[in-house]
């Protein structure tokens, strides 16, 4: 399996499929779709402390962490608030892709050198168009995350 020590290497297709299968929102897809999706993913590398997505920016891709660790924050009048820490096998960026204006709802920063597999918005939209049953699951999960974000910010 791909590991953090080899963060600069290329991830083979079968390991990409394995990473996708670990994501509950993707695991419900047929295996043929999973392999097709894995082949379309693009690798992106980020240095420690690099901002990957900025709250308020337009989202153009979904991220799957292959190696490393990232922190999710949102800004309130008193400053940034940590919402989550993400590790290998976790995704981010999906909420923006599901919202009408595709705005990022949080900032994600690499806590360590980070390797992600990304799926552009157009590919993500096509995937959900081909699998409407998956769209409803993704939309429900995004709504749950947005509610959790706003609850964590309440006094």
| Contacting residues for 78 by C-beta, under 8 A, at least 6 apart | none
**CA-based nearest residue to 63, from 131, 117, 112:** 117
pLDDT for 25 equals: 77
Q: Is residue 95 part of a domain?
A: yes
Task: Quote the pLDDT of residue 81.
Answer: 87
pLDDT, tens digit, 9 for 90 and up, residues 133-147: 777 676 777 676 656
Residue 72: inside a domain? yes
The reply to whether 14 falls in a domain is: no
pLDDT digits (tens, 9 = 90+) for 119-137: 999 998 898 888 877 776 7
- Report the C-alpha gap between 149 and 127 in whole angstroms: 26
Domain-embedded: residue 54 = yes
Distance CA 44, CA 7 (A): 10
Write out the residue range of the structural domain in which residue 83 sits. 43-121+135-153
Q: Is residue 49 part of a domain?
A: yes
The pLDDT tens digits of the residues spanning 46-105 come to 999 999 999 999 999 999 999 999 999 988 888 888 989 999 999 999 888 888 788 998
> Cα(95)–Cα(130) distance, rounded to whole angstroms?
19
Closest CA to 43 of 120, 117, 124: 117
Residue 143, domain member (yes or no): yes
Collapsed DSSP state (helix, strand, coil) of residue 131: coil
Burial 18-39 (b: 16+ CB within 10 A, else e): bbbeebebbeebeeebbeebbe
Q: Is 71 helix (H, G, I), strand (E, B) or coil?
A: strand
Is residue 153 within 8 Å of 74, Cβ to Cβ?
yes
* Residue 129 forms part of a structural domain: no
In angstroms, how far is CA 80 from the centroid of its own chain?
20
pLDDT score of 41 more than 80: yes
In a domain, 4, yes or no: no
Q: How confident is the model at residue 148 (pLDDT cuts 50, 70, 90)?
A: low
Report the pLDDT value the prediction gives residue 23, as an integer from 0 to 100.
87
CATH number of the domain within which 96 lies: 2.60.120.10
Q: How many structural domains are present in the chain?
A: 1
């Amino acid at each position: 399996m791909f590991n953090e020590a080899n963060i600069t290497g290329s991830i083979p297709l079968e390991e990409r499929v394995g990473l996708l299968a670990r994501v509950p929102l993707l695991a419900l897809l047929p295996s043929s779709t999973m392999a097709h999706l894995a082949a379309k993913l693009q690798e992106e590398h980020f240095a420690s402390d690099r901002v990957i997505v900025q709250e308020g920016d337009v989202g153009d891709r979904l991220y799957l962490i292959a190696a490393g660790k990232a922190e999710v924050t949102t800004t309130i009048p008193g400053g940034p608030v940590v919402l989550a820490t993400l590790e290998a096998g976790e995704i981010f960026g999906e909420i923006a892709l599901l919202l009408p204006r595709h705005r990022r709802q949080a900032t994600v920063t690499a806590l360590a050198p980070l390797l992600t597999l990304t799926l552009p918005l157009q590919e993500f939209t096509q995937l959900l168009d081909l699998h409407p049953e998956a769209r409803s699951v993704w939309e429900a999960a995004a709504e749950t995350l947005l509610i959790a974000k706003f609850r964590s910010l309440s006094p």
